[in-house]
Amino acid sequence: MGRNGYYEQKPIAQVMGEYAEKMDIEFVAAVGDIHHFMGVRSVNDPLWMTNYELIYSHPELMIDWYAVAGNHEYRGNTQAVLDYTNVSRRWYAPAKYYARTVSADKETDCLLVFIDTTPLIDKYRKDSLEYPDACLQDMKKQLQWIDSVLVNSTAKWKVVFGHHPIYADTGKSDTERADLQTRLAPILEGKADIYFSGHIHNFQHIQMPKSSIQYVVNSSASLSRKVASTEGTQFCSPEAGFTLCSVSGEHLEFYFINGKGDVIYKYELRTK
């Protein structure tokens, strides 16, 4: 996302709309970096139009967008990302991290947990010049909140969304994932079913040995990057695109869809 319509962003947005029309999509999860490269200055920043409103303009995408900030938003005004909730009918980011419970069917609830990963990584916390708001966030408070929400929920499915991957193949600094593996992964283990992330601009599905969590990296819906298999890789692809997820009482399925609208990978997770 966040490329002013370039790098396939606009045509992929059209494909998203076409899928939304066919599948009766309930919401879109935007896992950060909606605004490259320096975030936004305010709710009136023109980037809201060129990165978002004029790009995702298909009628079937006029639905709820649950959003979190990525590291690029942290270079700008992170409060504006939240405040845009009061400007746009479809944009929803009431806080830097939050949760919602939705109905998968008449008997099945799904917990959606949207987290703020940038302040959980020391690389950003220590760079107050580039990411001035990261070090101001209470990391311990958020981690305790994530644990509490997951433990106290009675939903059959528990899905977590964050910008940064916990496990992935990437040329980005290993310290990013190391911090999340130390701080976040132990909280999710045994409580969450799946963790969706973005950040590295390709598709990856990873299941680590002895872990019950499916780790999914969603492509950027615009600029894509090379990828190779790493420990736990079930599938990977450098194609640009988006992920479609379907939930019912018996199973959770996700599909990797490329810019042409082709399903290049499918995975089904069944209830235990």
Choose among 93, 18, 83, 90: nearest CA to 52.
Answer: 90
3-state secondary structure of 169: coil
Q: What is the mean pLDDT of the chain?
A: 94
* H-helix or E-strand spanning residue 83: helix 78-83
Q: What is the pLDDT of residues 13-54, one digit of tens each?
A: 999 999 999 998 999 999 999 998 899 999 999 999 999 999
User: Residue 95: exposed, middle, or buried by beta-carbon count in 10 A (0-12, 13-18, 19+)?
Assistant: exposed
CATH 3.60.21.10 fits 9-270, yes or no: yes
Q: Span 179-185, mean pLDDT? A: 98
Q: For residue 102, which phi and psi values (nearest 5 degrees)? A: -120, 160
* pLDDT band per the 50, 70, 90 thresholds, residue 251: very high
3-state secondary structure of 221: coil
Q: What per-residue confidence (pLDDT) applies to 1? A: 53
Choose among 189, 187, 205: nearest CA to 197.
Answer: 205
Q: What per-residue confidence (pLDDT) applies to 171? A: 83
Domain ranges of the chain: 9-270
What is the phi-psi region of residue 50: left when phi exceeds 0, alpha when psi lies from -120 to 50, beta otherwise?
Answer: alpha
Q: Could you give the CA distance from residue 245 to residue 84 in angstroms, rounded to a whole number?
A: 25
Q: What is the pLDDT of residues 234-244, one digit of tens each?
A: 999 999 999 99
Q: Span 101-114, mean pLDDT? A: 94
Q: What per-residue confidence (pLDDT) applies to 7? A: 66
